[in-house]
Amino acid sequence: MDKDLASVQEARERISKAHEAWQIWSKATQAEVDRVCEAMADAAFQASERLGLMAHEETGYGVPEHKKLKNVVGSKMVWESIRAEKTVGVINFDREKRISEIAWPMGVIVALVPSTNPTSTAFFKSLISVKARNAIVVSPHPSAARCTYEAVFVMAQAAEKAGAPQGLISCMQQVSLEGTNELMSHRKTALILATGGTPMVRAAHSTGKPAYGVGPGNVPVYVDRSADLQKAAKYIVASKAFDCSTICATEQAVVADRPIAKQLADLMYSEGAYFCNEKETDLLRKTVFNPNGSMNVNVVGKPAQFVASFAGFSVPDTARILVTPLVDIGRNEPLSHEKLTTVLGWYEVDGWEQGCDVSMALIASGGTGHTQIIHAQNEDVILKFGLEKPVFRILVNTMGTVGAVGLTSGLTPSFTLGSGGIGGAITGDNITARHLINIKRLAYELYEPPAEILTPVSIPNLTSLSELEPFVEKTLQEILNL
C-alpha cells in the first residue's frame, strides 16, 4: 500500500478504536481515573532518563540530561498539579446561585507533538487527556516518531495494566501529512491539541474542529538597572543553554538597561556567553535562517560550538551560548526573530520606557501573546511591564525555559502554552486537564418569573387574510415607533 494511504488508514483505525475505548472510559469513576493516571505518571517518571536519551539520539536536538528533566516535568510535576482536580461528576456547587457544575469529557483528542520536546509533550498530553476522561491519539513529528511512539507506549501500557480500556492511548506509526490531516478532520475527533511550528498549528485551526494551539515565542528579557545582575546573568545564560534552546519560552533577546549593560555583559561572559563581533554576527544571520526566512533545521537545538563551526568560526569550549549585538528589529534583522538554538540577541536601551518599547517591538515581530521576562527589583517597573505587554506570561526574576512551563514558578505545569486571541489561540493559559472537559450546569430557579410572562395575552381571532392585514400593519407601525 502507498505510504500516504497506509497512514490515512492507520489514522482511521486508531480514531475508531480510541472512540470505542472512550465510550467505556467516559463512564469511569474519579477513583478509576486517578488510579490509572497515577500509574501512567509513575511509569513515565521511571522512563524519563531512557526516553530523554532516546529523544536526543533520534532528533539530534538538545541535551539528554535536560530532556530527562523535561520528562520529569511532563510526568511527575504535571500529575502533581492535577492530582486533586475533580474531573468526574459534580465538580463544583454554588450554594448561593444553586448551580451544580458537572464535568463532561470531550471525546477523542488528537495531539500533535513537536520534534523539539517529543517525549515530554507526549507524556503531558496523555496525562491531561486521560485525567479529563478523554481518549488520545498522538501524531508525532516524523523526525521524532520512534521516541514519541515509545513515550506513548509507556503511558498506554501503564494505563491498561491499571484498568483503562485498550486503545484509549495510542500513537501513529506510519506518519505522513495526509495521515495527520485525517486524524484532525475525522468526524470522531473532538478536539486538537497542537504544539509545534506555525504551519502545523494553523492547519489544526483550519480543520473546523476545536483546537488549542500555540504561537511562536520570540521572548524578550528586559534587565533593569534595579536588577540583581549576578542572578540575571546566571539565569539568562543557563536558560538559553537549557536543552539548546528548544523550548518556545526560551529567552530570544536581552534588552539591557544601558547603565548596567557592560556589567551584565561581563557577568554573562563569566557564565559562558560568547559575544560575537560584527563579522561573526553576520555569519550567524546567514546560518540560523534560510534565505526564505525559515529556520535552518541543521542548527536547531545544537550547542554553541556546533552552531559557530557551522557558521564558519570557532568559539572556546567554555562557550554555552552565542550573543549577537543587534540594533534593528523585524524584517531587516533575521536574528531579532525566534531562534530555537543557542543564539541570543542583545539590545541596549536608555531606561525602562525604551526597554518597554523594544520588548514590544520584539514581541510584535513574532511572539505576540506568548511570554516576556523581566529582571528588576523596582516593583513599579515590574508592574508597568505586566500591564502593558501583549503577552500572557510575564516572568519576574526567573528563567524563561523552566519558568513558563511551571518548574520555577507558580504557573500550571504545561508544554502547551496558549498565546491568547492576539496570538491566534483561543486561550492564553498554560493548557491542562481542566481545558479538556466541558461543564454542564444544573441550575435551579432562584426568582419567580415576571407577571407579564405568566399573564395570558389576548390575541384577536382572525379568520381571513383581509382581517389579518390591518393587524399586521398596526403591529409593524408599533415596531417602527419603538
* Alpha carbon distance 373, 396 (integer Å): 6
| 276 catalytic residue (yes or no) | no
**Do 371 and 214 contact (CB within 8 A), yes or no?**
no
Q: Are 288 and 215 in contact (CB under 8 A)?
A: no
How far from 359 is each of 9, 250, 256, 344, 367, CA to CA, in Å?
A: 47, 14, 10, 14, 10
Phi first, then psi, for residue 293 (nearest 5°) are 95, -10
DSSP 346-385: EEEESHHHHHHHHHHHHHHTTTTEEEEEEE-S-HHHHHHH
3-state secondary structure of 307: helix
300-324 as b/e, with b when 16 or more CB fall inside 10 Å?
Answer: bbbbbbbbbebbebebeeebbbbbb
Beta-bridge partners for 92:
101
| Other Cβ atoms closer than 10 A to 357 | 13
Q: How far apart are CA 413 and CA 408, in angstroms?
A: 10
**In 10 A of CB 160, how many CB atoms?**
17
Which is it for the CA torsion 456, 460, 463, 464, positive or negative? negative
Going by C-alpha positions, the residue among 63, 403, 362, 400 that lies closest to residue 236 is 400
Reading the block at residue 238, the C-alpha cell is 543557563
Q: How far is CA 405 from the centre of its chain?
A: 9
The 3-class secondary structure across 77-138, one letter per residue, is HHHHHHCCCCCCCEEEEECCCCEEEEEEECCEEEEECCCCCHHHHHHHHHHHHHHCCCEEEE
Catalytic residue among 37, 147, 171, 248: 248
Where residue 457 falls (left for φ over 0; alpha for ψ -120 to 50; beta otherwise) is beta
Nearest to 240 by CA among 323, 332, 126: 323
- Crossing angle for the helix pair 48-59 and 118-131, to the nearest 10 degrees: 130
179-212 per-residue burial string, b: 16 or more CB within 10 A, e: under 16: bbbbbbbbebbbbbbbbbbeebbebbbebebebb
Radius of gyration of the chain (CA): 27
Active site residues: 248
